[in-house]
Amino acid sequence: MRSMTFGRAAFAVTAASAVALTWFMVAPSRAAEEPFIIPAPKADMAPASGLKTAVIAGGCFWGVQGVYQHTNGVVQAVSGYAGGKETTANYDAVSNGTTGHAEAVKITYDPQKISYGKILQIYFSVVHDPTQLNRQGPDSGTQYRSTIFASSPEERTVAQDYIAQLNSAKVYKKPIATTIEPLQAFYPAENYHQDYLTLHPRQPYIVFNDLPKIENLKKVFAESYRDKPALVRDAKATTN
């Protein structure tokens, strides 16, 4: 999600959009870099029966959702808000950066096809830069923080151990800034935020910041990549 200054309206096909695009092209972003390869977690959750969920935050949820929608074993990835109250879980309020929410994605997955550890490995490599504090690329504020919302002690342990493993191995030039917070609740975002990457593949923000993440997923995790995304609207259609 972008600030109102460089938001969706700024990317209309006008002179103003050219200025906005230029700004994004010079802003720092891991998305435009080469794939970042990291080791898999040494400890992972044991395979279980039935579907499981994971909630993570790593900057604008458009790209985070897009990556996991293209990941094998993921049944659904929903953009939303976590870390704050229900009364302020909406775009306008969260954009102010004062509600305590983070833009997050709720991932529903089949643990027989993809593990929680693999979800985290993708998260720490192609989804975002975990060393950035309260920002990702051109977006800044606590709503863009790097956070894993753990829903169980097992999730917390796997996440903590993995962060310690990566820090100990000095995988990154800087310490990981990712926090682990208990998942209190997850609030789905407005409909116009769902499946945004798929529906707006030519939007400049998506082109520069998010489509490279999909390409990196394909390069680094070829065995986990799926070409057809698991869209929210498709899941809704099957339940109606």
DSSP H or E run through 182: strand 179-182
Q: Does residue 2 lie in a domain region?
A: no
Find the catalytic residue in 1, 20, 60, 94: 60
What's the CA gap between 156 and 151, in Å, rounded?
8
Q: Which domain holds residue 159?
A: 8-239
CATH of the domain at 120: 3.30.1060.10
With beta carbons less than 8 A apart as the criterion, state whether 21 and 158 touch: no
121 to 45, 158, 159, 193, 227: CA distances (angstroms): 13, 11, 10, 25, 19
Q: Does residue 192 lie in a domain region?
A: yes
Q: Quick one: pLDDT at residue 239?
A: 55
SS (H, E, C) 27-83: CCCHHHCCCCCCCCCCCCCCCCCCCEEEEEEECCHHHHHHHHHCECCEEEEEEEEEC
The count of domains in the chain is 1
With beta carbons less than 8 A apart as the criterion, state whether 238 and 77 touch: no
Mean pLDDT, contiguous 10-residue spans, the chain (240 residues): 41 36 40 75 95 98 99 99 98 97 99 98 98 97 99 98 98 98 99 98 98 97 98 75
239 to 65, 72, 117, 189: CA distances (angstroms): 20, 21, 29, 19
Q: Quick one: pLDDT at residue 36?
A: 76
Q: Quick one: pLDDT at residue 34?
A: 66
pTM > 0.75: yes or no: yes
202 labelled catalytic: no
Q: Does residue 3 lie in a domain region?
A: no
Q: Does residue 168 lie in a domain region?
A: yes
What's the CA gap between 76 and 59, in Å, rounded?
19
What's the CA gap between 88 and 153, in Å, rounded?
27
Helices H, strands E: what count in the chain?
9, 8
